[in-house]
Amino acid sequence: MSLRAKVPSAGALFVFEAAARKLSFSEASREFNVTQPAVSKTIRQLEEQLGVPLFNRTSGGVELTRHGQILADAVSGGFRQVEAALDEIERMRESPTSVTVSVTSAFALHWFMPRLDCYRQALPDIPIRFQIIHGEPIGPLNGADLGVRHDEEKKQAFDRWFLQEEVVIPVASPGYVAAHGVLDGCNTLKGHTLGHLNEPLRLPWRKYLAEMGYAPPGDASEMLFSDYALLLQAVIKGQCIGLGWRYVIAHELEQKGLVRAASREYVTGMNYYIVTPSDRPLRPEVAAVRDWLLTEVGSDLQ
């Protein structure tokens, strides 16, 4: 199910973010120049759509529920990223040397953004733009200069350069592991919380646990997410364990924002590639970004 089907309107998320940030429906109403009852109605409709309360109403005001805090973290972080992206696009609007890269939201947020300063130092004259994919790294480039795709895209008209084999590692925050332990040695997963996507992954938790010889997931709690980048954000916040694709989570592992929640890596037999349209001449700027990506991703394995 798409995000559009899950919320009454995109505006509801803006209203929710303001109410969560200020912990006040009245303050949020002033920010949007509407009445306090209008804000209350929007929040109530969002809660009804999601099927959970987002705020506890008290005589002293409002406070976020556990569900509300999860959504507030995701929405505020997403809005900051969107604002930064719009600022970047505005700066690059007139630049003919810019390069558009088609990648997943998780790769953009958790791999590329921590390396943005490094990119700017290496290629200061080549502005970068992102075409974001929500889901698997598949599909056409839709006008992008290059992208990251996996083996299933061999049918596309791409020129390709090997990036990294697909390796999946369960990860969690250091705090989660300190509180709950890792999966190794568990006869049951009771007490653990596994992060899942609403849309099925090619490698779901059930398959990973069975293939790697861990306890089945039946006793574990679960959290559901509509986007892999949001799932990883919840993992970093210590809310759950997630399956981590190495080409995405390398920086978080290096910086100890994430640690391994199980020792056994799942090597799927698939690979990831940098791809460019085979029917378009390769501009020097695109080749430079491609080479930088190949070098940086390669350094993750050292």
Q: What is the 3-state secondary structure (H, E, C) of 35-63?
A: CHHHHHHHHHHHHHHHCCCCEEEECCEEE
Q: Note the pLDDT tens digit of each residue in 279-292.
A: 888 889 999 999 99
d(CA 80, CA 114): 14
Stretch 223-230: mean pLDDT, rounded?
A: 86
Q: What is the dihedral of CA 179, 185, 187, 190, to 10 degrees?
A: 10
Q: Categorize the per-residue pLDDT at 254 as very low, low, confident or very high, splitting at 50, 70 and 90.
A: confident
CATH architecture of 3-63: Orthogonal Bundle (1.10)
Q: Categorize the per-residue pLDDT at 59 as very low, low, confident or very high, splitting at 50, 70 and 90.
A: confident
Q: Categorize the per-residue pLDDT at 3 as very low, low, confident or very high, splitting at 50, 70 and 90.
A: low
Q: State the DSSP H helix or E strand holding residue 161, giving kind and residue range, or none if neither.
A: strand 158-172
- Long-range contacts made by residues 202-205, C-beta under 8 angstroms, separation at least 24? 202/136, 202/268, 203/168, 203/243, 203/266, 203/268, 205/243
HSE-CB for 159 with a 13 A CA cutoff: 12
Triad 94, 100, 105: Cα angle to 5°: 125
Stretch 6-29: mean pLDDT, rounded?
A: 85
* Distant-in-sequence, close-in-space partners of 194: CB < 8 Å, separation ≥ 6: 205, 217, 220, 221, 222, 223, 240, 241, 242
Count CB-CB contacts under 10 A for residue 234.
20
Q: Categorize the per-residue pLDDT at 121 as very low, low, confident or very high, splitting at 50, 70 and 90.
A: very high
2 has a pLDDT exceeding 70: no
The better pLDDT of the pair 83, 233 is held by 233
Domain-wise residue ranges, the chain:
3-63, 95-302
Provide the mean pLDDT of the chain: 86
CB burial class (10 A; 0-12, 13-18, 19+) of residue 264? middle
Q: Note the pLDDT tens digit of each residue in 72-119.
A: 988 888 887 777 666 656 655 656 688 989 999 889 988 898 889 999
Region 95-302: CATH code? 3.40.190.290
Residues composing the chain: 302
In this structure, of 5-14, 73-82, 110-119, 133-142, the range with the lowest mean pLDDT score is 5-14
Stretch 170-178: mean pLDDT, rounded?
A: 95
Taking the alpha carbons at both ends of the chain, their separation in whole angstroms is 39
265 has a pLDDT exceeding 70: yes
